[in-house]
Amino acid sequence: MYDINKVRENFPILAREVYGKPLVYLDNAATTQKPLWVLDAMRDEYLNVNANVHRGVHYLSQQATDLHEAARERVRKFINAKKIEEIVFTRGTTEAINLVASSFCESQMQPGDEVLVTEMEHHSNIVSWQLQAMKRGIVVKHLPITDDGRLVCRDAITTYLTGKTKLISVAHVSNVLGTINPVEEIVRIAHEHGIPVLVDGAQSAPHFKVDVQAMDCDFFAFSGHKMYGPTGIGVLYGKEEWLEKLPPYQGGGEMIDKVTWEKTTFERLPFKFEAGTPDYVATHGLAKAIDYIDAIGFDAIQQHEQELTRYCMEQLQTIPDIHIYGPDYTKGTVLSVYCRSTQKEPSLLCKDAVVSFNVGNIHHLDMGTLLDRLGIAVRTGHHCAQPLMDRLGISGTVRASFALYNTKEEIDTLVAGIRRVAQMF
């Protein structure tokens, strides 16, 4: 049984009021709230184990190092990476993508070579490559999406691949549309052409089980703060063979083997990509967040969040003049429709935990501002996805996004709030 009341007790912030109204927090795609399980563990480390890692022979340093490296192993198991050397700690998904963009382009690409992304990408998976285009003369191309926000993989990818394509970088789940992209199919097609794939897992890792070996992606990036962990910590998974090929992203302490005035040699994996003092308390917090997710269980979490997503879309569709963007969850479209070659039973619906919408001519900022006065926290704007907004022909949306602690009653409050705001206009 999914005891939502017990779950919510672990998140004291959910009990607070905003403008005299109970807080309804529906901005989880931006960041999730943190359970006491995580906060208490981090506080305990600062109080009792605080010391720099990897550098000291004294007790506290060794204890902190043990916690830090135990967190790396915890992450490895969480995404089923083959080796601990394949887990690189970063500040988040954005830095992980920038790391790959910088190091991959420096060592693997020439002017005129191409990176392929999609129209639904977050800016972090666009601008990172555009910066390399300005520096190194590479070309950034994008895969189109359908009007309801999906990729039709094989035809689209093979049409856009050329002999110059060196890497495909794609979101696992769209932060605007909630579209679950068929990354296993994308990886399969790419590998048929000898092309590596980077998957942005910022919106997937918090919501359903990720298995990087089964996916066979070459790189996978995600953030701690979107999965009930602390801010400022993230993970880049990279296949060992690729990480060995790539040069360091930054220079400094921790990532060196030996430094002389003539030459520097670099540490073994994964440390050559981790310059400077890591946020070792945050890595411990991330490990505890993973423990928390596992204690509840992804099957239970996924079922709960899918029920919320379906219920939200059904209720929103009762509001006059509403437009919901992305795949229609209520029609039961399944991932296998876009992955026919896998010959697998569908395991995921096509949309997950995110619903973006507009109502009539009401500006998304006005809707979000007035909902806030009712205690309802949603996201408004372009959601760091302006090219997607251009594709949809809008300036922005209102976005409600769900986590393991949200309830149908909160969705009822959201729908009532939207109706109240719509009446004002």
Catalytically annotated residues: 384
Please identify which residue in the block is written with the tokens 């990476």.
Answer: 81
Instruction: Give the three-class secondary structure for 10.
Output: coil
Amino acid at 425: F
CA distance 397 to 149: 14
Q: What share of the chain is helix, strand, coil (3-state, %, to 5)?
A: 45, 20, 40
List all residues 6 or more positions away from 363 whose beta carbon is below 8 Å from its beta carbon: none
Q: Which two tokens stand for residue 339?
A: 């992955």
Contact of 360 with 421, CB cutoff 8 Å: no
Q: Which two tokens stand for residue 282?
A: 């945050």
Which segments of 255-406 are extended strands (E)? Answer: 256-259, 264-266, 322-325, 354-359, 376-377, 379-381, 397-401
List all residues 6 or more positions away from 304 whose beta carbon is below 8 Å from its beta carbon: 2, 4, 404
Residues in the chain: 425
Contact of 103 with 166, CB cutoff 8 Å: no
- Paired sense of beta strands 197-200 and 219-223, if any: parallel
Instruction: Give the three-class secondary structure for 219.
Output: strand
